[in-house]
Amino acid sequence: MARPSGSDAGVTGPRVRDAAERLFAAHGYAAVSMRAIAAEVGIGAGALYHYTPDKQTLLFQLMRAHLEEVIAAWAETDPKGAPADRLDAFARFHIQFHLDRPEAVFIAYMELRALEPDNFAVIETLRRRYEAILRDILAAGVAAGEMQVADVPLAANALIAMLTGVTTWYREGGRLERGEVETLYAQMALGAVGAQKSSAKTF
Amino acid sequence: MARPSGSDAGVTGPRVRDAAERLFAAHGYAAVSMRAIAAEVGIGAGALYHYTPDKQTLLFQLMRAHLEEVIAAWAETDPKGAPADRLDAFARFHIQFHLDRPEAVFIAYMELRALEPDNFAVIETLRRRYEAILRDILAAGVAAGEMQVADVPLAANALIAMLTGVTTWYREGGRLERGEVETLYAQMALGAVGAQKSSAKTF
DNA sequence: GTCTATAGCCCGATAGAC
DNA sequence: GTCTATCGGGCTATAGAC
């Protein structure tokens, strides 16, 4: 399609977002300068402003894109079966997504406080929508008698925190394979709410 | 004991640490300026340096004091009985401590990346020592046949993350009392590792 | 599309008066 | 023990050359 000149348009933009994601996750939004992002990309600081109007918008768009992606991805993963099986699938999905995109996830949970009020409201709505998925699963599990959960919102918060925490210690190539980690976290999640997979039921 | 003049010595120091703790927890270490801390205390920025040699040391000392306190407090709380009962006690202790000192806990877990290497090494050692408490409980539970834990370090990480997450949502005066929160989290922790309190056993 | 230069501001930390 | 003033530098974002 022969661009008139210069370097790869449509390539630097994603590289800027990748660099920002990596650095925000590693050091925190407030601790990362636009100069540092530019240096990571290999351009001058001024050139960044062709790709984002400002630093805050860069953060906001990273967070929004991630949350919209995770919500959409779950919609395609949801097995829509028995609540215990959905919880198993949700735990595995959440772990998988977090291990695939640890930086984006870390930012989405940790940098809420760095958002300006209008941006915060948008992100908070998306975050609540994602957490509502788990609350719905737990509520269905209680209704079906498959789970013992005294307080659904509390249990959902506790499970999300547990699952999200995987990013703080898991490193590729370590002692455990990803599949093992998924399985173990899913087992703990089921156990925490007194559930078991339908395939494990004794009739 | 009649100080020669001026304001309350021995009082401003703790106020500086309290202000720093509050602001670091709310906005993150990197986002908080020494001027902001001074304003919170009600003194000029220059006067801060009578209480800390620099900003980094302020963070380091907050984190070290907190971790040493939590380790010492557990040593006095540990019921030293059956592993399942110790896990129940640990979960309640951890929740209590976190709800009593949410700012200190939040900083201790979130600002590790803001520490300079020498300080990081000290804090990381303390943090590992605290997490080893839970690993020891789980290992004892497995050995006693009271718990089903396929991987002790993973389970310890998962439980710590779950319990610590309480600070992200619990607010005093909300829907749930602290005692309820402790009980529910302890139940989930026990369930996650397939354990139950000795008082709940069926013989 | 990227560069260099810079405006305007805030930063951590220090010096010295009181 | 606190103040004011300040040093030296980094920050975000913009302007204008190429």
Q: Where are the domains of chain A?
A: 7-52, 54-197
pLDDT at B203 exceeding the cut of 70: no
As a three-state string, the secondary structure of A75-104 is HHHCCCCCHHHHHHHHHHHHHHHHHHCHHH
Cβ atoms of residues A184 and B151 within 8 Å: yes
Question: pLDDT tens across A151-170, in order?
Answer: 999 999 999 999 999 999 99
CB of A72 less than 8 A from some CB of B: no
pLDDT, chain B, mean: 94
A46-58 burial: b if 16+ Cβ within 10 Å, else e:
eebeebbeebeeb
By C-alpha distance, the chain A residue nearest B183 is A150
Rounded to the nearest angstrom, the minimum Cα separation between A6 and chain B is: 37
Closest CB to B185: pick one of A158, A165, A194.
Answer: A158
**Distance (Å, whole) CA B170 – CA B176:** 8
Residue A14 has what pLDDT?
A: 97
pLDDT at B11 exceeding the cut of 90: yes
pLDDT at B200 exceeding the cut of 80: no
CB of B2 less than 8 A from some CB of A: no
Per-residue confidence at A93, pLDDT binned at 50, 70, 90? Answer: very high
The architecture CATH gives domain A54-197: Orthogonal Bundle (1.10)
Instruction: For domain B53-195, give the CATH superfamily.
Output: Tetracycline Repressor, domain 2 (1.10.357.10)
Question: pLDDT tens across A115-158, in order?
Answer: 999 999 999 999 999 999 999 999 999 999 999 999 999 999 99
Q: Which residues of A touch B189 (CB under 8 A)?
A: 192
Residue whose entry in the numeric block shows the structure tokens 């080893």: B132
Residue B198 has what pLDDT?
A: 87
**Distance (Å, whole) CA B100 – CA B39:** 25
pLDDT, chain A, mean: 94
pLDDT at B52 exceeding the cut of 80: yes
CATH, domain B9-52, list 2.60.40, 3.40.50, 1.10.10, 1.10.760: 1.10.10
Residue A198 has what pLDDT?
A: 87
Residue A6 has what pLDDT?
A: 45
pLDDT at B3 exceeding the cut of 90: no
DSSP A173: T
Nucleic acid strand C within 7 Å of A31 CB: no
Q: Which fold has domain A7-52?
A: Arc Repressor Mutant, subunit A (1.10.10)
Q: Which residues of B touch A162 (CB under 8 A)?
A: 158-159, 161-162, 165, 192
Question: Which chain C positions have some atom within 7 A of a protein CB?
Answer: 1-5, 10-16
In this prediction, residues A82-101 reach a mean pLDDT of 97
CB of B107 less than 8 A from some CB of A: no
Interface of B with A in 143-162 (CB under 8 A): 150-151, 154-155, 157-162
Residue B108 has what pLDDT?
A: 94
Question: Which chain D positions have some atom within 7 A of a protein CB?
Answer: 1-6, 10-16
Q: Residue A92 corresponds to which amino acid?
A: R
In this prediction, residues A50-61 reach a mean pLDDT of 98
